[in-house]
Amino acid sequence: MTTETETVAAPRKMIYAKGPDARGWYWATGRRKTAIARVRIRPGAGTFMVNGKPLEEHLVGERDQKQILAVLDKAGKREGLEVVVRTTGGGPTGHAGAIMMGLGRAIAGYDPNLEKTMRSAGFLTRDAREVERKKPGQAGARRRYQFSKR
């Protein structure tokens, strides 16, 4: 007869980055609408580059810049991290949301103690809202053509 041993599964811990790569970068991906941002961070001088340009040149809107920098402020790492981001798809607002999520995930992987802070601030939650498709026989997703009685 064999005896069955009962194993208790430990609660699964959410880790967003597996650790630094060979060059010391922590990687994470963020998504918003149709935008995708691949974010890399490592300890450094505090530079923030998006698609080869400084953040202020890539995202001109002050609201979008504040939204992204709020992630670094919440983590207390505004000056100590070098951030490089590649974004594709979507527009400025989608890029900002994707960068925000990717940066939150990368920071949670860089310092696992900050994961709870990032989650409570909403930086790790995917915003699942997408554009509703246009329906046939209508002018848009919800808008209908004008009804004529005669």
- The mean pLDDT values, 10 residues at a time, for the chain of 150 residues are 59 65 92 96 93 95 94 91 95 95 94 93 94 96 92
Domain span including residue 59: 26-120
Does the residue 33 lie in any domain? yes
pLDDT of residue 58: 94
Domain count, the chain: 1
Alpha-carbon distances of 125 from 13, 22, 39, 43, 132, rounded to whole Å: 16, 28, 16, 25, 21
pLDDT of residue 12: 59
Query: Going by C-beta distance under 8 Å and a sequence separation of 6 or more, which residues neighbour residue 8?
Result: none
Task: Look up the CATH number of the domain holding residue 57.
Answer: 3.30.230.10
Q: Are the C-beta atoms of 108 and 122 separated by less than 8 Å?
A: no
pLDDT of residue 4: 57
8-state DSSP, 98: H
